[in-house]
Structure 1
Amino acid sequence: MKLGLITDIHEEVDNLRAALARLKAERVDKIVMIGDVALLGEHLTETCRLLTEAHAVGVWGNHDYGLCVDPSPELQQKHPREVFEYFGKLRPSLDIDGFHFSHVEPWLNPESLFDLWYYDGPPDEHGKLWRIFNAAPHRVMFAGHFHKWLLATPEQIVDWHGERPIQLAPGRFFCVIAAVCDGYFATFDTETSELTPLRV
């Protein structure tokens, strides 16, 4: 299966539209949204419409939580029903073909607002890698949240910054996808384990 990976849209509809068009041209089988659709709500309806039309599945991010879990009456009056229909389908995490997707690192609980907003910088030393790879059994785990490319094995941060396609095999990997709001997204082939960074 060829997946299109998008994250941290933050209502940047022009970048999202361009990314979705490229992923359609790449003939991906499924689009996986790795959290943070929302920002201030000014372009939320259009953002959700584009994601719904693309049949994007996904997980919620820290900016999305209040729209996904018991949205307040005030929020429900502010946005049309279609917005909540999309957010209502987002999950805390997803497993697709044995690959794990969560907006935050897998040792954090995506059903906890405190954990979703936790920030101690991107993983940069062995202790931070240990807690990632000991939290879940998956061979490859994907996240967003950091607005940058990042790739790690249980032993080290890989010298890779989204400048070229890379094979996520053999071994185990934690991979952060850079933000759509900054013009970045990716494809991932679940059969070959090739991750291809793309730019608007």
Structure 2
Amino acid sequence: MKLGIITDIHEHVEQLQAVLDELDKQAVDQIVMVGDVVETGERVEETCQLLSDAGVIGVWGNHDFGLCYEVSDETRRKYSDLVIQYMGSLEPRLKIGDCLFTHIEPWLDPTVLEELWFFGGPPTGGERLDRIFGAVSNRLIFTGHYHRWILASPKAVLDWNGGTSIQLNDGRYFVVVDALFAGRYAILDTETSELMPGCIASARLRRNANHP
């Protein structure tokens, strides 16, 4: 199975459309979104429409919490049925095979708003990696939140910045996927464990912005 992985959309509709088009060309079997659909709410309708039309599944992020968990009546009145339905389909965590998808590090509870907003800087090793890998047993852990590429084993953060494909077929790994609003995405081949990072060029994004 080929999984497209996106995160940190923040209502950047043009970038989202460009990445969805690219993932369609790459013939991925499923797209997984790792949180933060929402930014200001001004373009959340368009964003949710694109995600829904593409059959994207995923988890909520810290910016999404109020639309996904214990949604108030006031919030339900404020947004369309499409937004409420799509955001309500997002989960706190998602497992596919030996992969775990969660917006934040897995030792944090995504149903607790204060923990969902945790930002102690990216993990650099030591106790943070012990907490990440000790919290769950999944072989591959994918998150967003940090707006950068990060790859770590239980022993160390590895020297990789998303510039090349990498094999994840031996051992356990923690992967932070860079933000979609910067045109970033990843494809994981679950059979070969190859992770292929991708980027939509800024020139292409500008062309898409001129043709909604």
Counterpart residue number, 1:198? 198
Aligned to 1:27: 27
Equivalent residue number for residue 59 of structure 1: 59
Tell me, yes or no, if structure 1 residue 10 matches structure 2 residue 14: no
Give the match's secondary structure for 2:135. Answer: coil
Shift of 1:74: 2.8
What's the counterpart of residue 173 of structure 2? 173
Structure 1 residues 39-188: aligned runs within 5 Å: 39-188=39-188
Q: Structure 2: how far apart are the matches of 1:92 and 1:169?
A: 26
CA distance in 2, matches of 1:77, 1:44: 15
Counterparts of 1:108 and 1:74 in 2: how far apart (Å)?
28
| Partner SS for 1:33 | strand
What percentage of aligned pairs have identical amino acids? 50
Aligned counterparts of 2:67 and 2:139: Cα–Cα separation in 1:
31
Deviation sequence 1:28-85 (CA, Å, 0-9, x none): 0000000000000010000000000000000000000100112223322222110010
Q: Distance in 2 between matches of 1:189 and 1:97?
A: 12
Secondary structure, counterpart of 1:3 in structure 2:
strand
Query: AA paired with 2:61?
Result: G
CA RMSD in angstroms, aligned pairs only:
0.7
- Indicate if the aligned counterparts of 2:35 and 2:61 stay in contact, CA closer than 8 A: yes
Structure 2: stretches of 5+ with no match in the other structure: 201-212
C-alpha distance in structure 2 between counterparts of 1:160 and 1:98, whole Å: 22
Q: Give per-residue Cα distances to partners, 1:147-195, cap 9 Å, x unaligned.
A: 0000000011110000000111201100000000111011001111111
Q: What is the aligned residue count?
A: 200
Cα distance in structure 2, aligned partners of 1:168 and 1:104: 20
